[in-house]
Structure 1
Amino acid sequence: MFRSHFFAATTAVSIALLPQASAAADQVKMLFDWIPGGIHSAWYAGAKNGCFADLDLEFSFDRGSGSVDTVAKVAAGLGDIGMADFGTMMLGVSNNGAKVKALTPIYSDAPFGIMTVASTGIGSVSDLEGKKLASGPGDAGILMLPLAMDLAGSDFSKVESEKADFSALLGLLLQGKIDGHTTFLTTSKILSAVVSNAGKTPQFVHFGESLDMYGSVLIANEQFLAERPDVARRAMEATQCALKAAPTDPEAAVDALLELFPEKKRESELAAIGGGIELIFDSSAHAENGFNWDETRVRTTHSNTMKAQGQAAEFGSMSDYIHNF
């Protein structure tokens, strides 16, 4: 259901990062939520800056095909850990009994937003009333938008909403056939450059930050947690180390990514990792809690996700979704 989307090639990738850790290093297989890019660069840098080796770990990575795919594969043991949308993980646990738990927040703010241009006059979700909006199939943002509009005192039923292929959304906006489309903050950083090159002024309305809910988190297979708890704990710490290093030197992170994916565009990846850094470190929740959990935000993530799906918002307990070491 929830889909993360970046402009990138769609071929599968599986990488064991270099330089190699020592022979005694514990192996950890991680699944991304999508094709490697943007904030994923932080993990590639982690193989070079000591975040992994210092904890006697060696990571290998596989691409994902959206958070639903990643949650299912980690639950099935095809990966030890993964990056996935927290709401999607909660749905997997509640509806399908997925054997996964969240270890640490990555995006403390949800990435949902509206890509538009200044000439439409859309500066907030309330300005969407009477406008034409498009979204891709399976897009999470369009499901959360009614909640954001309700919080802002506006009415989603007054928005003319339509579906289009993800690849067509920006073209429709630039041609004036729609007034905006849903996308993620990370993707908007890349799209903004395209809009500017087309002679228009880009505008992004990040309504996800008004929802007080988590975006992507680090998840783990429950069997992995039970059988290799110390490795899991170190994998979480290594991830946090890699993410903390990203804002210090995003160029080094992107360069580490480009060593393995030379076909990618450096400026686009720098823009995308900047968006990821913003979602992690510019959140009020991260300022207050760092990489620790805010229980109210966890509960709100669950409540909003269930409301968007038309399901009863029965939370249970924190331990249903989160593993504490």
Structure 2
Amino acid sequence: MRYVLAMLASLLALPAQAQDRALLQLDWIPTGEHAAYFAGVQRGTWRELGIDLSLTRGFGSGDTINKLANGAAQFGVADIGALMVARARQNVPVTSVMQVYTHSPHSMFVLRASNITNFRQLEGRRISITPGNSHRLYFPEVMRRAGGNADSITWVNMDASAMAAMLISRRVDAAPFFAIHHYYQNKAAQRAGQEIVALPFVETGFAIYSTGLVATDALIQQNPDLVRRFVQGAQRSFEWARDNQAEACRLHVTRNPEVAQDDCEGSLRATMTYVFNDHQRATGFGRWESERLAFTWRNVAESQQIDPATLDPARFITTNFLP
């Protein structure tokens, strides 16, 4: 008995297992779209998997990818199209490890008062943009499909947090947003006596993969177990947030008090339709279907005057860390 007690005492005296510290670089300001990540951190989902995960706001997918490539973060939330272009042109050492959105929520927001109802009517207009924003990567192909001239657009560079205000104040004619942000952006517009209308890219037949989770190639090679645990935590966080949306937003708002509870819930509710759907059920959570992946690469490449034949789209992704 004394021996058993001594053994128990020695085990209790052992230091707690060290946590792997990692930074997740978001792609945007922390809206309800990101509630699953913040709720997961708050609930200790990654901590239970041995990861001390920190989150930081993003400035567009291109910036997120560059930050990972330069060693500023281990993981990122980024559009796969932006990753494809960065790998094709600069061979950035970053790879997608999990597909989050099965189809693209890319859209242009316009004011109803502008009488803009289709993409062709954006010709000659001023559109806000952030550096590396994936909307701009896709826009030439969207305009081609709509019969418009993308070269006629004047792009106005600005910080992501200023884009909605610039649109509502009519200092730009359109602003690129995911459709899932419409709820809270339109609420702000209504307070100013305006109404926002979304022009989804998918209406032109532009149905492609979008946001996913990325990691540096160095981390994938040197610490694959950390990547596996990170992906596992992400899947658990999304599944829990899907089933507990109000609570997920409560936790998100605790960390991001500038986000209203109802705004968060509106965005998160829309977000989940891009994550959990028929395509996800057929392909598997986080996985890619080869035909849609090839279609995504072809459209991204052609919109950027890149020969799609120069790269196999399978080079942009890895399924090694998915269950």
TM-score, normalising length: structure 2 = 0.78
**Match of residue 90 from structure 2:** 96
Counterpart amino acid of residue 251 in structure 2: A
Shift of 1:29: 2.8
Q: 1:145-204 CA deviation, whole Å, 9 max, x = no partner?
A: 34224335x3336x9633335577656655667664433223333221122223344321
Q: Against the structure 1 CA distance between its residues 30 and 52, is the aligned structure 2 distance closer, same or farther, given a 3 Å change threshold? A: same
Whether contact under 8 Å (1:299, 1:315) holds in the other structure is: no
Say whether 1:38 aligns with 2:37. Answer: no
Percent sequence identity is 22
Say whether 1:163 aligns with 2:155. Answer: yes
**Which range moved further: 33-42 or 46-55?**
46-55
Whether contact under 8 Å (2:108, 2:198) holds in the other structure is: yes
**Match of residue 233 from structure 1:** 228
Find the partner of 1:274 among 269, 274, 286: 269
In structure 1, distance between residues paired with 2:306 and 2:110: 31
Say whether 1:135 aligns with 2:128. Answer: yes
Find the partner of 2:77 among 75, 80, 83: 83
SS at match of 2:77: strand
More helix by share: 2
In structure 2, distance between residues paired with 1:73 and 1:176: 32
Structure 2: stretches of 5+ with no match in the other structure? 1-15
Say whether 1:55 aligns with 2:49. Answer: yes
In structure 2, distance between residues paired with 1:173 and 1:26: 42
Counterpart amino acid of residue 64 in structure 1: G
Counterpart amino acid of residue 200 in structure 2: H
Counterpart amino acid of residue 32 in structure 1: L
Q: Higher Cα Rg: structure 1 or 2?
A: 2
Shift of 1:221: 1.3
Counterpart amino acid of residue 98 in structure 1: V
In structure 1, distance between residues paired with 2:164 and 2:30: 22
Structure 1: stretches of 5+ with no match in the other structure? 1-21
Q: Against the structure 1 CA distance between its residues 201 and 287, is the aligned structure 2 distance closer, same or farther, given a 3 Å change threshold? A: farther
Counterpart amino acid of residue 67 in structure 1: S
In structure 1, distance between residues paired with 2:193 and 2:229: 48
Counterpart amino acid of residue 311 in structure 2: G
Shift of 1:104: 0.8
Shift of 1:91: 1.9
Whether contact under 8 Å (1:42, 1:242) holds in the other structure is: yes
**Match of residue 219 from structure 2:** 224
Report the number of matched residues: 300
In structure 1, distance between residues paired with 2:60 and 2:162: 19
Q: Against the structure 1 CA distance between its residues 172 and 71, is the aligned structure 2 distance closer, same or farther, given a 3 Å change threshold? A: closer
Structure 2 counterparts to residues 171-186 of structure 1, below 5 A: 173-174=167-168, 180-186=174-180
**Match of residue 323 from structure 1:** 318
Counterpart amino acid of residue 156 in structure 2: A
**Match of residue 299 from structure 2:** 304
In structure 2, distance between residues paired with 1:254 and 1:122: 33
State the superposition RMSD in angstroms.
3.1
Find the partner of 1:73 among 19, 42, 67: 67
SS at match of 2:153: strand
TM-score, normalising length: structure 1 = 0.78
In structure 2, distance between residues paired with 1:181 and 1:75: 28
**Which range moved further: 265-274 or 172-181?**
172-181
**Match of residue 107 from structure 1:** 101
In structure 1, distance between residues paired with 2:276 and 2:78: 18
In structure 1, distance between residues paired with 2:221 and 2:170: 54
Say whether 1:214 aligns with 2:228. Answer: no
